[in-house]
Structure formats: C-alpha cells, structure tokens
Structure 1
Amino acid sequence: MFDTSSLSMALIRGSVLSAATLVLIVAIVRIIGVRALSKMTAFDFVITLASGSLLATAGTAETPAAFAQAIAALTALLALQYGLAWGRSMFRPLRQVIDNRPLVVMRDGEMDEAGLRGSRMSRDDVASRLRQAGIADPAAVSLFVLEATGDISIVTNGPVHADLLASVRESGGTDGDRPR
C-alpha cells in the first residue's frame, strides 16, 4: 500500500525539517527578543497563530523552495512584530491602532456597568478575581482594570495617580475618552 522508501524518506524529511525549523525559530526569537513569546495583544496573538502555521508548513515542505518560502514568511512575520513593537513604543497613533486599551471595570468599590459590558465580564467574574487577589471587601478597591493583555490589575491603596490612567478607557467609552 505504501512505498517504504517514500515513507521512510517522508519521515526523515519531516523530522529533519521540523528540527531545522525549530532551531531557526529559536535563533530568530533570540535575535528579536522575548516579545514574540510574551503576554500577547491581539496583534501578537495573530502573529503567534500564523507562526505556528508556518512552522507546520516548513516541517512538511516537500521541496527546498517550499521550505525556504515558509522560513522567509516566518522571519518576515517575526521581524514585522519586532518593528511594530518598536513603533508602538515610539508612536502613539500606531499604538492606538494596534493595541487594545485597558478598561476600568470597577472604581472606588463600585462596579462600572459600562465597563462590565465593554469587558464582557460579569459581576461574578469580578467577584472571583477579587477573591483570588485576597480582597475581602470590594470597598477597598480603588481601581479594577482589565488590561490590554487580558490581565487584571487591582489597586487597593487609595487614589491612583493620573499618569497610570493615561491610556485607560473609562465607562466602556471610545479611545477619545479621557480618564476621570
């Protein structure tokens, strides 16, 4: 049913190409930095998905040209991610286009209904996160923010400095909203 010489060559080719691709990815990530593997924004997530697909393509390439094309595409994606990470740190308009903005879900012990809707979190989700953070009384919470990466930040020690709120959306508003 199977040509054993073709089957053994396919197994060898798949193993060698996958190992070579993995070595190349590690080298590229070492050059570009851990940003490629860190907490992800939506853009980072898409790059990661595409990278996985290209890794599979490279590992199953049947010709040198197909392998080279997959590696070139993977390198280009990771370089683009690196360039955009640099650009986001330098240019606010680019950051506003690419990144999600943190969103206030609770302020001064009170749930922000618009923030709950905007974050797609329920009151039970918020209560669970407060318990996980060891907070026994919601009134102790100065600020509860859903961060751009999906992490939760909870501040309990009084007023929050305005500089920490510069990029935070309030009341589920648009990017034009300014923090209170």
Structure 2
Amino acid sequence: MFFIADPVLDAVARGFVLSVAALLFVVFLIRVNGLRSLSKMTNFDFVMTIAMGSLVAGAAQASEWTGVWQALAAMTGLFVFQNLAARLRRASDTAEKLMQNEPVLLMKDGKICHKALAKTRVAESDLYAKLREANALDLSKVSAVVLETTGDVSVLHGDTQPDKRLTQSVRDKTT
C-alpha cells in the first residue's frame, strides 16, 4: 500500500496511518451524531462502543483499500443505526420496551434482594464490592442498589430518602 519494496516498513506505516485515519473518522462521526454516540446509556450503546473498537482495529490491519473502506462504511452504518434506534426509542414506548432491558433493584432499604441477585447472576460479594466503591458505610442507610441496563451498578445511600422518581422504572422483585 505504501512501501512496496519493504514489507516491514509498509506494515508499520500502514498500521500507523490507517489507525490514525480510522480514529479521526470515528471522531468525525461522533461530532456529526452527537456526544451520546459512545455514552453507554443503553445496551445498544455498549455494543456499539465494542464494535467501533473492533472496526478501528480492522481498518488499521487492512491489507487492501477495500478493507479500509468496508470498515469505514460499517462504522457509518452503526452510527446511522444507533441514531435511528435512539429516535425510535424516544418516539415509542413499545420500541423502548423491546430494545431496552429494565434496571433491577438488588438492594432496597438496607436489605439485599437475594432473588434479584440470583436472577441477574450477581454474586453477593460483587454487591459488597460496589457498596464499598460507593463509600456506603452503613447498610441500613442504603436506600437502593440498582443494576442498570448497561451493567453498571448505582448505589443510592445517605441520611435522606432518594426522590421516588429515581427508582420508579426499576424492576423490584421484593414485592
């Protein structure tokens, strides 16, 4: 592609130039599509982030120009699909329910929801690790621990009760 006479120099130059070009293209797509593109707010966003990394690597390792163009086209397609899916989710509650998992309550009012831990395959030791990360010092002051749709864990704790709107869409298996 670049240095036909020296295959090693060609591979190094190609890897450098194509990886930089692919990253710049992703930055361009993010600028066009918006900051939410790699936000990891939904499972679609999470998969998109992983796919983007794979496509950048594919573009950087391409040995022919068709491989580079195919990777760039795939990146564009993913951004277009994510944009359309986000618009559809905003416009339709049915689409939202079909495309999005529900957050799950793992702990409520200081008590562990063992059924929810089992259903979500979260170990109690992992729950305690997340509580430590959130600097929760007293389990009785933990209002809620939520396994979010992205796999992140949110810990609501403190002396005051959280606003009910923070947990209204969370699936509660304790009742």
TM-score normalised to structure 2 length: 0.80
For the 8 Å contact 1:57–1:70, the answer to whether it is kept is: yes
Equivalent residue letter for 1:141: V
> How many residues in Structure 1 have an aligned counterpart in Structure 2?
170
Structure-to-structure mapping, 1:73-84, within 5 angstroms: 73-84=74-85
Shift of 1:89: 2.6
Counterpart of 2:50 in structure 1 is: 49
Equivalent residue letter for 1:20: A
For the 8 Å contact 2:40–2:46, the answer to whether it is kept is: no
Cα deviation 1:45-65 (Å, max 9, x = unaligned): 322222222222222333333
| Separation in structure 2 between the aligned mates of residue 59 and residue 118 of structure 1, nearest angstrom | 40
Structure-to-structure mapping, 1:1-180, within 5 angstroms: 5-7=5-7, 8-156=9-157, 157-158=160-161, 160-161=163-164, 163-171=165-173
Secondary structure of 2:98's counterpart equals helix
Shift of 1:160: 4.6
Aligned CA distance change for structure 1 residues 57 and 151 (closer, same or farther; 3 Å): closer
Shift of 1:77: 0.8
For the 8 Å contact 2:56–2:71, the answer to whether it is kept is: yes
Q: Which runs of 4+ in 1 moved over 4 A?
A: none
Aligned CA distance change for structure 1 residues 66 and 122 (closer, same or farther; 3 Å): closer
For the 8 Å contact 1:142–1:160, the answer to whether it is kept is: no
| Separation in structure 1 between the aligned mates of residue 146 and residue 135 of structure 2, nearest angstrom | 16
Aligned CA distance change for structure 1 residues 22 and 124 (closer, same or farther; 3 Å): closer
Secondary structure of 2:31's counterpart equals helix
Shift of 1:146: 1.4
> Which ranges in structure 2 are unaligned for 5 or more consecutive residues?
none
Quote the sequence identity (%): 38
Aligned CA distance change for structure 1 residues 169 and 67 (closer, same or farther; 3 Å): same
Shift of 1:4: 7.1
> Which ranges in structure 1 are unaligned for 5 or more consecutive residues?
173-179
